[in-house]
């Protein structure tokens, strides 16, 4: 009925007339089955998902950048508010003060955690945040090489390489020491070269809280990029106090579910002097015509929709909703909640390493150092094989290091969080004892 | 501000107790992060949500952004622990559901786009563009060619040139013709042995279908370059044509546009890429391989560009989009496109007495009106029209894009608006065109905030409470 | 800190001072364990619930007033809106127009479905709605007996008895005919007596769509109460067209989950002339001081908070949120959606009865009549025993009739809805075939 | 109205097709029920939700109603199919989770109340009262006594007399003493061999603790009657005293008050009843019996009153309340009561410069202020104060109850309000007391609706769109 009236208004007789500009030679059909009811759709998707075994069904000791933490129900409640999740990027600030303030709060929380002045309101994930940081170093500084730890996941290293493709900057990898911290003897001489930027992680890929990151600043004038786990920062000296120029990390651990790895929450913070070279969207404080404090997206001239080919990044859609979730999470926990959660994670990992160290043929932890919630353990069998055996017993073991750091191919990166109780850890170690 | 900042609360003294937990000297000494009890926290963030406008609040005809309704069955599915508590590095034994869904989703996107292979990895449209540009580069290199130019029309979305530049390409921008379409002679002139790719959006950002697309494809291919499809406007043509039928080699999809996944106030989105078979070796790793029941991830693709993000894609977004595709089916997707186009053309007709709408009919899913006459006549710019629409509870269109239309108002109602709602949008816009300029220039007048000073924000660059506190302390 | 200031303001030194009025002889301790974190709480409750086998795990053929229908996600979304579910009864209409309008829409939908003029905004469930209807009959009419079908669940009959306790009215039960419809030969003579009200159901307890309810009105001047399944009304002549004075039923099937039986949604509708004798809260249309149409609770002088001991009912808290859900459900489906859902239910039940009729020793359906989504089947073994066997095979059989209608003790009331696909029905019948 | 009624839309012609599905002649001929597409439907009901105020929106100090914060973990639990897709008549094999939870919940409520047995069946407080009155009746009858009177104080909640009357009892109302407490001599005078029960709320609806409760218990018991506890105010005294310790025989709980379950804009709630062991045989059937792992439902209780509702209780509400009890633990419940009392006394102190608050200190979880002086002085009634509070975003208190305080404002902030929030409530109320009466009398002035004409609603009695249409057609 409506449709007919609309066609009359437009002045067409058939809907097809609206497609007269699509030439015959490009016409084609859509070879998909007919639609389903809502009920059938839900049943069909559920029957596929049914084949998964999730971490509640098969306890998992995987971490490596994606962690199984408890997500407070309040966080899910807020990010499920229709007004938030059905909105677009807040191009019209007068209609989007809620999202803008929530994102400003996120930026503020990230700045407090990292002790930096400025943060953007998210990038895709921790790996692309590192990529963007490296690209920003290339904007801030000359130099041929971006120095990064060799102890990096193949995923992160590959992303870093891909993000540097257009800059002409290469990657130099430095090693680790016998305690799993960064190897200053290896790094030192490299710093003599034409360095574009230096990247160091704490905790690093081995889960080590690396005190040596605090020694870096005096060693170089190149921009210093620090990679963090934001939860660790509730206990640890922040990068801002260690002289970092840029801080990156993944904030999935702040109130987002693992979700098969994506979306992550790319954290990106920097010093005030660098803000105009930052990638990504930023929310700034300002005023409205009535003199009230208000928020809007700002410094958009850095961005692709204004600066196009000369933008600081191509990013447009980011992961704002996860940033809102992180803001809620941090506001709910606060300093004390966050630090006791962090403590619990350290203690969980410690307990697991202690249990494993009792197994004759396992070296746990492989590195004698402070760990956050994960650590390497050396196994008497190939970790890949071990994981297959454990899967049959209803467990998901840790990450085999081989594909990432081949010389540690007999090691597994095991993570434990507050989601593991003693019984779960004990059962896992018992299963390991049986199969090793 | 709507509510006092959380950070602006007092916090009891003390420092986190980190002793024994971190190496000596690495302990945190202070952290300003007030904890808010759940009751207050909820009120705070719910109040913020209420000061935000989404498609569930009202019409949101934001051009290029395709603000479709986000169906609620997808929320139900996404809440399952079979989604939320999955880790990307689990053994295949544990992940058959995820892998199966991804495999079916790849197949569905192949059907829709007419491409031969799809990667679901990219996290958004621009990310898909970047992955594609890396593939373009890798492809030419694999053939021993070092092509360094990418051609984009001036009507292209900003991410197109940005992505190409980020991948190290030189940009060659070609102006649109009088008719708003690609000027074939300009394209011809721009093409050369240095051309790596031509990036095209079809229908383009003016909502016009590039009817000469097959000819452009021949021209581009004749020069050994690749033709890239920005899929942000795919919502216009499903079931009528496809990038494959049009002759494209690479395409990115915006699942958060065409496939009804929520945009989340900025993201997460999802930007899968599809390619013809000769480009498949270059797709990101790992690839989902194997048959139903024994799917796995394959990393051994020597020509692959590697990774563009740490994940295998934004899984919950993929899952939502897959559910949407199932629900609609082929006919439903075709009908969605048809209705989106009908709605755009109807709304255009309803407002063109009050706004110029350059270029000829029919439009596809969106159209670009101009406030040029208003500006000349009464000093009312596109921006002012937008701000006044806010007072009426209609989200303004995209403004000042594409740049080739002066005082552009880029309007995309999507298929979800009823005639009643379209009439309301039209009535609101038409009334503003007739309103006295003082009112319009002063808008928004209702609501909790007045017009916001964006230049002050840029000048001050206060991006955190920490910075604000530092300035206060000065 | 705050606490100290507050105590100073009050003028007390210790919190304990606020309890000085609680005499020592009534003091006691609370013998409960200490609290838990949110995460622990969720895990603890989940581990209890884990022991359930729900209808998705063990397909169920139970109905009898509580049905497993698909709940559209939009319904759950709306009733999860914080503004709705964290509000109280809308005592302050200016602050509660949203809830008031939603409830008015619910009342309106119910009136359309039943073809009645007025409905209240919910009672606890279908059984108490019947109880209240009987009590209302006692207000409208003299008479010693309230006539009701003997084919009633023990639950409903017991509630009815309990609700009549204070009225002095007794219950007279009439029988059913060989086709499962109401027995007019039995009922007729009873109508000669001092009848306070008459109750008839369509569909009745046997799932029969009983055409004979349409013959009742001319037979009596006593108030006529009709019990309905609101979903059936999308296909069936409504009570308002059959001369009913009061309509009751349970609206759980309109967008509420089974939830182990409660909350139900007590539907209560009546003719305009009776509105001031109704029980429960009602929302009325009115105007505000600016002349706009608006809503408020009305005729509160019938209610306990005003009329106290002489109120039409003691009900205070009802099930408003389910009424909102039902309004959303009916608005989403509309006439066509609701009637095709109803059709699907008729067809599901038919298919199941046909399948069962192929089993040699099963009489299915037991009554040859039109059924909605449930029907009786006579079994060769005691239904109670059969259900135990079926449970071991992962099925939940139908309701054994014995406890409710002893002479049908070899029958089972089996329900099927759109939630059963062919495969589920087939598997159930195959399991039956094996065990019978 | 906030949005046009759904019913007020057009619908395409036609009737449901029922042929062959129902007996001939029983087909439905027409049904006015327009279908609304999900996008519009969501906007409609979300807009309605936004025009509604809940505890998540702001302070809600509605006396007697105990509007606590509803913690969100309970929503997560209640969404599980292990809750939603359970049928009450399933085999015990399938329902061990439900039965276990109910059994533990009964035990927890026994601990909290000091009672010996609990039934979870009643769907709300009033329903629990009714079940209890039926038990009182059955108990006396079982002893061959036909007691027909129930005594209630004039300060009792309306449901108390209504429930007793519904169960066929004659009401004997006794006036409160000067001090707002039960007048022992009035009670003595009311008690007789006809007395079946005395219904008492403690703390009472004035927020005062009935310190003579043990004496009253003796008086009541001496006369062979039962002492009934209306548990709506239990939130005041957890961990300090219990109905058991006070000498009560029967108690109802309001889980949607004391135990933080949502009130849902009117319900569902849950009103379990607890009894001393001598009354256990009378509790509703079926009872949960057996040990962990082999629980079942027992119907064979010959003295039972039978059923008060079709279900075994409102299970999701029970589950939410049980989770809340676990989360708080004994200490947490005690602390909740302490804080609720502190908040009430603080707020009382903060407003008593502007409002009379009759009776002496301390109060428990609530208090009743009076607008009597305002009414006398400037014609501003409790109702007007309430309407003006709406303008400030604070939900008004309960008004005109209990009736023994003139122009009553019954205020219960609960433990969840922060000092900041309490100060805001106080500031708002105090400012109103000082405001010019015209403004207050005209309130609400802000917001989408003005003061609502309740008497017109009662006069017109338009309770449905059907009725409205009939009137329009006249
Ligand atoms: C035409 C066009 N291309 C590309 C993009 C970039 O997509 P995304 O925001 O998902 O990165 C957009 C987004 O607005 C667009 O409209
Ligand atoms: C003191 C008192 N008793 C009883 C009730 C009745 O409880 P319900 O509303 O759960 O039926 C209430 C409810 O407001 C109350 O405040």
Q: Which ligand is nearest to the CA of D228?
A: 2
Confidence (pLDDT) at D226? 98
With beta carbons less than 8 A apart as the criterion, state whether C381 and C436 touch. yes
Counted across chains B and D, CB pairs separated by less than 8 A come out at: 42
Residues A132 and A202 in one domain: yes
Structural domain span for residue C175: 73-329
Residues A367 and A268 in one domain: no
Residues A83 and A107 in one domain: yes
Structure tokens at D129: 């009262």
> Which residues of chain B does D69 touch, with a Cβ-Cβ cutoff of 8 Å?
38-39, 42
A375 belongs to a structural domain: yes
In the structure, what pLDDT confidence band is assigned to residue B13 with cuts at 50, 70 and 90?
confident
Would the pTM count as exceeding 0.95?
A: yes
Counted across chains A and C, CB pairs separated by less than 8 A come out at: 19
Confidence (pLDDT) at C274? 97
**For chain D, how many helices (H) and strands (E)?**
17, 12
Average pLDDT over residues D424-445: 98
Q: How far is B43 from chain D (nearest CA, A)?
A: 5
Residues A409 and A317 in one domain: no
Give the mean pLDDT of chain C: 97
In the structure, what pLDDT confidence band is assigned to residue A307 with cuts at 50, 70 and 90?
confident
Confidence (pLDDT) at B211? 96
Confidence (pLDDT) at D286? 98
Sequence-ordered list of residues with C-beta below 8 angstroms from that of C227, at least 6 positions apart, any chain? C126, C130, C199, C200, C201, C202, C204, C247, C248, C249
State in Å: Cα D283 to ligand 2 middle: 20
Confidence (pLDDT) at B268? 98
Placement of tokens 């009670």 in the chain: D187
User: How many structural domains compose chain A?
Assistant: 2
pLDDT at residue C140 greater than cutoff 90: yes
Confidence (pLDDT) at D473? 81
Residue C366: half-sphere exposure toward Cβ, Cα within 13 Å = 24
What DSSP string describes B333-367? HHHHHHHHHHHHHHHHHHHTTTSB--SPSPP-S-E
Q: Kindly report, residue by residue over C175-203, the tens digit of the pLDDT.
A: 999 999 999 999 999 999 999 999 999 99
Give dist(CA D468, CA C118) in Å, integer.
11
Give dist(CA C113, CA C116) in Å, integer.
8
Q: Kindly report, residue by residue over D18-60, the tens digit of the pLDDT.
A: 989 999 999 999 999 999 999 999 999 999 999 999 999 999 9
> Which residue of chain B is at minimal alpha-carbon distance from C70?
B73
Put simply, the answer to whether A73 touches D72 (Cβ < 8 Å) is yes
Put simply, the answer to whether A70 touches C418 (Cβ < 8 Å) is no
Residues A279 and A307 in one domain: yes
Residues C341 and C263 in one domain: no
CB proximity C49 to B under 8 Å: no
CB proximity D40 to B under 8 Å: yes
pLDDT at residue A1 greater than cutoff 80: no
Pocket test for ligand 1, best of B158, B159, B259 (most atoms within 8 A of CB): B159
Sequence-ordered list of residues with C-beta below 8 angstroms from that of C218, at least 6 positions apart, any chain? none
Give the mean pLDDT of chain D: 97
CB proximity A47 to B under 8 Å: no
Residue C22 to residues D238, D241, D364, D412: CA-CA distances in angstroms?
12, 8, 10, 19
> Which residue of chain D is at minimal alpha-carbon distance from B69?
D39
CB proximity A87 to B under 8 Å: yes
Average pLDDT over residues D243-248: 98
With beta carbons less than 8 A apart as the criterion, state whether B421 and D4 touch. no
Give dist(CA A46, CA A49) in Å, integer.
5
Sequence ranges of the domains in chain B: 74-327
> Which residues of chain D does A1 touch, with a Cβ-Cβ cutoff of 8 Å?
12
Residues C324 and C342 in one domain: no
Average pLDDT over residues A214-229: 97
Q: Which of D38, D42, D58 sits opposite B43 (nearest CB)?
A: D58
Residue B30: half-sphere exposure toward Cβ, Cα within 13 Å = 7
pLDDT at residue C362 greater than cutoff 90: yes
Which chains does D contact via 3+ CB–CB distances below 8 A? A, B, C
Average pLDDT over residues D295-309: 98
Confidence (pLDDT) at B369? 98
Q: Which of A80, A82, A418 sits opposite C39 (nearest CB)?
A: A418
Structure tokens at C251: 């609206």
Residues C134 and C260 in one domain: yes
Structure tokens at C358: 């192929």
pLDDT at residue B250 greater than cutoff 80: yes
> Which residues of chain D does B42 touch, with a Cβ-Cβ cutoff of 8 Å?
56, 69, 72
What is the CATH code of the structural domain delimited by B74-327? Answer: 3.40.640.10
Check which CATH number belongs to the domain holding C400 and give it: 3.90.1150.10
Q: How far is A257 from chain D (nearest CA, A)?
A: 14
Ligand 2 atom with the smallest distance to the CA of D233 is 1
Average pLDDT over residues A205-228: 97
Q: Is the peptide bond before A301 cis (omega within 30 degrees of 0)?
A: no
- To probe the interface with C, which of B73, B82, B84, B260 has the most C CB atoms within 10 Å? B73
Residues C148 and C231 in one domain: yes
Average pLDDT over residues A365-373: 97
User: Chain D neighbours among C 312-371 (CB < 8 Å)?
Assistant: 313-324, 327-328, 330-339, 342-343, 346, 369-370
Q: Which of C329, C352, C380 is the last residue of a domain?
A: C329
Put simply, the answer to whether D72 touches A74 (Cβ < 8 Å) is yes
Put simply, the answer to whether B101 touches A49 (Cβ < 8 Å) is yes
In the structure, what pLDDT confidence band is assigned to residue C146 with cuts at 50, 70 and 90?
very high
Residues A303 and A381 in one domain: no
Ligand 1 atom with the smallest distance to the CA of B271 is 10
> Which residue of chain C is at minimal alpha-carbon distance from D169?
C166
Placement of tokens 């182990």 in the chain: C260
Average pLDDT over residues B96-111: 98
A425 belongs to a structural domain: yes
A43 belongs to a structural domain: no
Assess: ipTM above 0.95.
yes
Confidence (pLDDT) at C338? 98
A318 belongs to a structural domain: yes
Put simply, the answer to whether A33 touches B23 (Cβ < 8 Å) is no
Torsion, Cα A201 A204 A207 A211, to 10 degrees, reads -60
State in Å: Cα C80 to ligand 2 middle: 24
Q: Which of A307, A329, A351 is the last residue of a domain?
A: A329
| Bigger pLDDT: B249 vs A305 | B249
pLDDT at residue C129 greater than cutoff 90: yes
A401 belongs to a structural domain: yes
Residues A87 and A171 in one domain: yes
Q: At what angle do helices D38-50 and C97-114 cross, to 10 degrees?
A: 130
Confidence (pLDDT) at D296? 98
Ligand 2 atom with the smallest distance to the CA of D201 is 1
Give dist(CA B228, CA B161) in Å, integer.
12
Average pLDDT over residues D175-183: 96
Looking at ligand 2, which residue's alpha carbon is closest to its atom 7?
D125
Backbone Cα Rg of chain D: 25
Confidence (pLDDT) at B473? 81
Ligand 1 atom with the smallest distance to the CA of A314 is 11
Q: Which of C301, C329, C357 is the last residue of a domain?
A: C329
Residue B145: half-sphere exposure toward Cβ, Cα within 13 Å = 18
Average pLDDT over residues C358-369: 96
Q: Which ligand is nearest to the CA of D158?
A: 2
Q: Is the peptide bond before B362 cis (omega within 30 degrees of 0)?
A: yes
The residue among C75, C398, C325, C344 whose CA lies nearest residue C232 is C344
Put simply, the answer to whether D71 touches B40 (Cβ < 8 Å) is no
Put simply, the answer to whether C1 touches B42 (Cβ < 8 Å) is no
Residues A309 and A202 in one domain: yes
State in Å: Cα A317 to ligand 1 middle: 7
With beta carbons less than 8 A apart as the criterion, state whether B95 and A54 touch. no
Q: Is the peptide bond before C203 cis (omega within 30 degrees of 0)?
A: yes
Confidence (pLDDT) at D15? 87
Instruction: Check residue D62 and give left, alpha or beta (phi > 0: left; psi -120 to 50: alpha).
Output: beta
Give dist(CA A307, CA B462) in Å, integer.
21
Confidence (pLDDT) at B402? 95
Q: Which ligand is nearest to the CA of D263?
A: 2
Do the bridges between strand D170-174 and strand D149-153 make them parallel or antiparallel, or are there none, so unpaired?
Answer: parallel
Q: Kindly report, residue by residue over C382-420, the tens digit of the pLDDT.
A: 999 999 999 999 999 999 999 999 999 999 999 999 999
> Which residues of chain A does D46 touch, with a Cβ-Cβ cutoff of 8 Å?
82
Confidence (pLDDT) at B182? 97
Put simply, the answer to whether A162 touches B467 (Cβ < 8 Å) is no
Q: Which of B21, B51, B268 sits opposite A319 (nearest CB)?
A: B268
Residue C39 to residues A84, A301, A418, C44, D76: CA-CA distances in angstroms?
25, 44, 9, 9, 11
CB proximity D430 to C under 8 Å: no
pLDDT at residue D474 greater than cutoff 80: no
Average pLDDT over residues B403-424: 97
The residue among A211, A208, A212, A236 whose CA lies nearest residue A365 is A208
State in Å: Cα B245 to ligand 1 middle: 22
């Amino acid at each position: 009925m409506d449709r007919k009236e609309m066609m009359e208004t437009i002045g067409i007789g058939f809907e097809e007339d609206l497609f007269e500009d699509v030439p015959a030679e490009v016409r084609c059909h859509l070879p998909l089955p007919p639609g389903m009811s809502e009920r059938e759709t839900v049943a069909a998707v559920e029957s596929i998902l049914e084949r998964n075994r999730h971490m509640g069904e098969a306890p998992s000791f995987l971490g490596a950048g994606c962690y199984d933490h408890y997500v407070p129900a309040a966080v899910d409640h807020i990010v499920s508010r229709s007004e938030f999740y059905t909105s677009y990027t807040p191009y019209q600030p007068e209609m989007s003060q809620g999202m803008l303030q929530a994102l400003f709060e996120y930026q503020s929380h990230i700045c407090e955690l990292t002790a930096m002045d400025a943060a953007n309101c998210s990038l895709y994930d921790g790996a692309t945040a590192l990529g963007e940081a490296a690209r920003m170093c290339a904007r801030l500084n000359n130099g041929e090489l971006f120095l990064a730890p060799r102890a990096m996941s193949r995923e992160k290293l590959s992303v870093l390489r891909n993000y540097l493709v257009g800059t002409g900057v290469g990657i130099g990898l430095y090693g680790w020491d016998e305690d799993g911290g960064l190897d200053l003897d290896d790094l030192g001489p490299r710093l003599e070269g034409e360095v574009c930027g230096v990247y160091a992680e704490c905790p690093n890929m081995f889960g080590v809280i690396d005190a040596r990151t605090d020694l870096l600043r005096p060693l170089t004038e190149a921009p210093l990029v620090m990679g963090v786990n934001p939860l660790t920062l509730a206990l640890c000296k922040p990068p801002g106090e260690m002289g970092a120029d840029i801080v990156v990390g993944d904030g999935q651990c702040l109130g987002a579910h693992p979700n098969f790895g994506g979306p992550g929450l790319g954290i990106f913070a920097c010093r005030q002097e660098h803000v105009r070279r930052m990638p990504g969207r930023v929310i700034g404080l300002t005023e409205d015509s009535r003199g009230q404090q208000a928020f809007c997206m700002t410094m958009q001239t850095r961005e692709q929709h204004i600066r196009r080919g000369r933008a600081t990044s191509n990013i447009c859609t980011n992961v704002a909703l996860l940033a809102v979730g992180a803001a809620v999470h941090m506001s709910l926990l606060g300093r004390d909640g966050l630090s006791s959660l962090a403590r619990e994670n350290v203690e969980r990992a410690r307990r697991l390493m202690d249990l494993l160290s009792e197994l004759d043929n396992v070296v746990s932890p492989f590195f004698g150092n402070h760990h956050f919630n994960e650590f390497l353990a050396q196994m008497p069998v190939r970790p890949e094989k071990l994981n297959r055996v454990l899967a049959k017993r209803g467990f998901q073991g840790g990450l085999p290091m081989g594909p990432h750091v081949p010389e540690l191919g007999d090691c597994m990166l095991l993570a434990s969080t507050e989601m593991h109780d003693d019984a779960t850890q004990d059962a896992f170690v018992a299963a390991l004892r049986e199969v090793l | 501000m709507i509510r006092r900042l959380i950070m602006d609360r007092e916090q009891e003294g003390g420092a986190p107790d980190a002793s024994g937990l971190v190496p000596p000297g690495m302990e945190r000494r202070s952290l300003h992060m007030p904890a808010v009890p759940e009751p207050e926290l909820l009120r705070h963030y719910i109040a913020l949500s209420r000061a935000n406008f989404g498609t569930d609040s009202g019409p949101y005809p934001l051009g290029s952004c395709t603000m479709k309704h986000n169906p609620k069955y997808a929320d139900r599915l996404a809440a399952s622990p079979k989604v939320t508590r999955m880790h990307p590095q689990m053994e295949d034994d544990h992940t058959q559901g995820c892998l199966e869904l991804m495999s079916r989703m790849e197949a569905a996107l192949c059907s829709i786009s007419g491409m031969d292979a799809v990667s679901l990895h990219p996290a958004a449209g621009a990310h898909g563009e970047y992955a594609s540009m890396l593939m373009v580069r890798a492809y030419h290199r694999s053939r021993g060619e070092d092509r360094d130019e990418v051609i984009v029309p001036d009507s292209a979305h900003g991410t197109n040139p940005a992505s190409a530049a980020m991948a190290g390409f030189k940009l060659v921008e070609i102006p649109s013709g009088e008719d708003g379409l690609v000027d074939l002679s300009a394209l011809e002139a721009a093409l050369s042995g240095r051309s790596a790719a031509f990036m095209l959006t079809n229908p383009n950002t003016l909502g016009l279908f590039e009817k000469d697309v097959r000819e452009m494809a021949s021209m581009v291919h004749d020069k050994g370059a690749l033709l890239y499809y920005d899929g942000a406007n795919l919502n216009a043509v499903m079931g009528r044509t496809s990038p494959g039928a049009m002759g494209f080699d690479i395409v990115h999809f915006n699942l958060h546009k065409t496939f009804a996944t929520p945009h989340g106030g900025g993201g997460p989105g999802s930007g899968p890429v599809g390619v013809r078979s000769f480009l498949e070796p270059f797709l990101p790793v790992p690839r989902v391989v194997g048959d139903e029941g024994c799917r796995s991830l394959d990393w051994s693709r020597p020509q692959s560009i590697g990774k563009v993000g740490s994940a295998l894609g934004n899984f919950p977004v993929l899952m939502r989009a897959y559910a949407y595709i199932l629900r609609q089916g082929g006919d439903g997707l075709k009908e969605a496109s048809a209705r989106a186009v009908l709605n755009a053309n109807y709304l255009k007709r309803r407002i063109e007495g009050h706004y110029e709408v350059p270029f000829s009919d029919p439009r596809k899913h969106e159209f670009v009106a101009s406030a040029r006459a208003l500006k000349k006549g009464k000093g009312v710019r596109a921006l002012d029209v937008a701000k006044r629409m806010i007072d009426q509870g209609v989200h303004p269109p995209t403004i000042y894009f594409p740049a080739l239309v002066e005082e552009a108002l880029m309007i995309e109602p999507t298929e979800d608006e009823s005639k009643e709602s379209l009439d309301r949008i039209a009535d609101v816009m038409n009334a503003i065109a007739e309103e006295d300029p003082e009112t319009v220039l002063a808008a928004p007048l209702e609501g909790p905030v007045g017009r916001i000073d964006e230049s002050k924000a840029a000048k001050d660059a206060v991006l955190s409470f920490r910075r604000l506190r530092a300035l206060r302390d000065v």
